[in-house]
């Protein structure tokens, strides 16, 4: 029974010709388990490799071979389940899902059907305009990945590489709780973040470690659920958004023309941005699941669950709440910082013993901005947390101005070194010596007597004087001091 957990929100409705429509989305995410070896064999689960090199006789389904489960993959599934606050099933069963395809040498996929290892859970997503949204998790089960077929090597033949065959996948099925493409994108991206925190899936979408089947249907707001179509194997978050938007429009078009939506499987074509039917597979959808006689039921004891619970890291939601509470960060800044564990760790090193907001500002705006521009990750940042912290200290002490700090950041980025020593060596210290500032101001007033008269009537012109003083002092004069002395000397209130 499908329960509608959401209240229809007009902001998310799609305008059609006959009225408003609401999209209903559910997802099946396939996440490759981070592990050295495959789910049922000792062959390497590493991405790539020479063709058919990461393949054992089990993965190639040679007669007489028997699967033996990788205990660590089971732990990873349980860990992910705990991260999704889900029920862990102490008893689950592996089944055979039967179908023929050249990259599936067994003729069946070992999967879990009626009794998955993980049951119901929840994932919370934060949407900018609507706040916190709970997306229900229906289940998580373990299964084997298939091999890879290549169709572009030969005019009439396909090439098959079984390196991926038998790698462990977690299929994570959501409830149909999402109501817009943005929510669906946020759901996948949060799921990816959680799994990266847990270390259970690297989330590398280019390598296919994370891909989603998306179930989309439309209905009159708050009405009965419509007929859904399943868009297979979308492997980028941006494409997921495009596929959902296109598919919803397509279904609305059909319904408004008085037609009915056929329940079918569709493919997303990234080049055209459209989805198209893959009808040929429909006929074969008779998987004849049955328990795999080669495998005993999977039993999970309390000790294992307790051990994993004890080793769970601080998860994104908890980290966000803590960062906001301890460093008075905005929701927005906290969201950016928790996106990657390494980012949050870096921030906390910079923020330790300093003003949290100033630290967040430097980490997010200057450092992340610069890293993004150069396409680098936090792990190969040329500026360390200590260096960035020293820059923040120098501003805080009034040793350098914000403007000089940006120059200093650039020097540290390019050349490295101790920011404090650089400031000393290169004479970048802010001039707080009022005598020196006064001398510079006197000089400028003397050279611009006319403007100095005008400023009495037009107080806004003081900005021009500040600019001149900063210029003549190479940006090192303390702006507050300059402002104050100028006002006194020019007689501006």
Sole window of 24-32, 48-56, 350-358, 437-445 interacting with other proteins (rule: CB under 8 A): 48-56
Q: Which residues pair with 210 in a beta bridge?
A: 31
Check residue 371 for interaction with other proteins (CB under 8 A). no
The verdict on 100 binding other proteins (CB under 8 A) reads: yes
Residue from 23, 24, 35, 133 in contact with other proteins (CB under 8 A): 35
Buried b (16+ CB within 10 A) or exposed e, 111-139: bbbebbbbbebebebbeeeeeebebbbbb
- Near other proteins in 248-277, by CB under 8 A: 267
Site for other proteins in 413-472 (CB under 8 A): none
Does 224 sit near other proteins (CB under 8 A)? no
Q: CB within 8 A of 165, min separation 6: which ones?
A: 55, 59, 60, 103, 104, 105, 144, 145, 146, 147
* Smaller CB separation from other proteins, 289 or 413: 289
- 149 forms part of the interface with other proteins (CB under 8 A): yes
CA-wise closest residue to 27 among 164, 194, 179: 179
Q: Taking CB under 8 A as the criterion, which residues in 290-329 touch other proteins?
A: 291, 295-299
Per CB under 8 A, the segment of 6-14, 70-78, 219-227, 457-465 that binds other proteins is: 70-78
Return d(Cα 211, Cα 30) in angstroms, integer. 5
Q: What b/e sequence results for 78-99 when a residue is b if at least 16 CB atoms lie within 10 Å of its CB, and e otherwise?
A: bbbbbbbebebbeebbbbbbbe
Interface size with other proteins, residues (CB under 8 A): 55
- The phi, psi pair for 148, rounded to 5°, reads -120, 130
Nearer to other proteins, 13 or 101 (CB): 101
User: Which residues fall within 8 angstroms of residue 249, CB to CB, at 6 or more apart?
Assistant: 14
Residue 340, phi-psi category: left (phi > 0), alpha (psi -120 to 50), beta (remainder):
beta
Residue 218 CA to residue 284 CA, distance in Å, equals: 26
Among 27, 29, 31, 55, binds other proteins (CB under 8 A): 55
Nearer to other proteins, 254 or 304 (CB): 304
Segment interacting with other proteins (CB under 8 A) among 97-105, 188-196, 199-207, 342-350: 97-105
* Closer by beta carbon to other proteins, 22 or else 95: 95
Determine which residue in the list 23, 24, 43, 394 makes contact with other proteins, applying CB under 8 A. Answer: 43
Q: Is 289 in the site for other proteins (CB under 8 A)?
A: no
- Which of 19, 48, 102, 223 touches other proteins (CB under 8 A)? 102
CA separation for the pair 240, 229 (Å, rounded):
14
Cα(483)–Cα(462) distance, integer angstroms: 8
Q: What minimum distance in Å lies between the beta carbon of 296 and other proteins? A: 4
- Residue 233 or 260 with smaller CB distance to other proteins: 233
Cβ atoms of 394 and 419 within 8 Å: the answer is: yes
Residue linked to tokens 């806004």: 460
Stretch of 1-9, 10-18, 157-165, 193-201 contacting other proteins, by CB under 8 A: 157-165
Residue 201 vs 337, nearer CB to other proteins: 201
CA distance 163 to 60: 9
Cβ-contact 340, 196 below 8 angstroms:
yes
52 scored as a contact of other proteins (CB under 8 A): yes
Burial of 240 (0-12, 13-18, 19+ CB in 10 A): buried
**What span, in angstroms and rounded, lies between the C-alpha atoms of 223 and 106?**
43
For other proteins, which stretch binds (CB under 8 A), given 16-24, 143-151, 338-346, 485-493? 143-151
Tell me the window of 18-26, 37-45, 247-255, 322-330 that interacts with other proteins (CB under 8 A). Answer: 37-45
Residue ranges binding other proteins (CB under 8 A): 35-37, 41-44, 50-60, 68-74, 98, 100-102, 149-151, 153-162, 267, 278, 280-281, 284, 286, 288, 291, 295-299
């Amino acid at each position: 029974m499908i329960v509608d957990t959401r209240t229809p929100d007009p902001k998310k409705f799609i305008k059609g010709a006959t009225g408003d429509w609401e999209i209903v989305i559910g997802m099946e995410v396939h996440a490759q388990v981070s592990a050295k070896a495959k789910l049922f064999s000792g062959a390497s689960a590493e991405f790539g490799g020479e063709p058919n090199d990461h393949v054992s006789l089990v993965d190639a389904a040679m007669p007489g071979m028997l699967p033996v489960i990788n205990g660590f993959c089971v732990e990873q599934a349980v860990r992910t389940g705990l991260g999704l606050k889900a029920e862990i099933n102490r008893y689950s069963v592996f089944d055979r899902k039967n179908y023929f395809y050249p990259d599936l040498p067994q003729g069946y996929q070992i999967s879990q059907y009626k009794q998955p290892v993980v049951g119901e859970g929840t994932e919370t997503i934060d949407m900018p305009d609507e706040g916190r949204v709970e997306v229900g998790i229906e289940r998580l089960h373990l299964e084997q990945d298939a091999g890879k077929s290549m169709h572009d090597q030969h005019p009439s033949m396909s090439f098959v590489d079984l390196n991926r065959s038998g790698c462990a996948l977690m299929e994570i099925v959501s409830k149909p709780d999402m109501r817009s493409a943005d929510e669906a994108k946020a759901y996948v991206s949060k799921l990816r973040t959680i799994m990266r925190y847990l270390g259970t899936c690297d989330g590398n979408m280019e390598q296919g470690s994370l891909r989603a089947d998306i179930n989309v249907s439309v209905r009159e707001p708050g009405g009965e659920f419509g007929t859904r179509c399943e868009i297979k194997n979308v492997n980028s978050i941006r494409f997921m958004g495009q596929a959902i938007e296109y598919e919803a429009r397509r279904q609305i078009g059909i319904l408004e023309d008085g037609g009915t939506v056929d329940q079918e499987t569709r493919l997303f074509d990234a080049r055209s941005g459209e989805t198209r039917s893959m009808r040929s597979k429909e006929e074969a959808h008779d998987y004849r699941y049955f328990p795999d006689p080669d495998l005993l039921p999977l039993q999970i004891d309390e000790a294992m669950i307790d051990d994993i619970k004890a080793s769970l890291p601080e998860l994104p939601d908890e980290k966000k709440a803590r960062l906001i509470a301890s460093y008075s960060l905005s929701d927005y800044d906290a969201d950016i910082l928790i996106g990657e564990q390494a980012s949050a760790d870096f921030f906390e090193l910079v923020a330790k013993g300093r003003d949290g907001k100033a630290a967040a500002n430097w980490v997010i705006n200057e450092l992340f901005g610069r890293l993004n521009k150069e396409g680098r990750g936090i792990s190969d940042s040329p500026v360390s947390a200590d260096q960035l912290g020293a820059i923040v200290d120098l501003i805080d002490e009034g040793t350098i101005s914000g403007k000089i700090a940006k120059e200093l950041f650039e020097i540290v980025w390019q050349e490295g070194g101790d920011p404090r020593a650089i400031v000393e060596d290169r004479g970048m210290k802010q001039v707080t010596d009022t005598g020196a500032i006064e001398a510079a101001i006197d000089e400028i007033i003397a050279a611009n007597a006319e403007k100095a008269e005008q400023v009495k009537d037009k107080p806004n012109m003081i900005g021009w004087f500040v600019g001149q003083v900063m210029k003549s002092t190479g940006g090192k004069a303390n702006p507050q001091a300059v402002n104050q002395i100028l006002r006194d000397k020019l007689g501006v209130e």
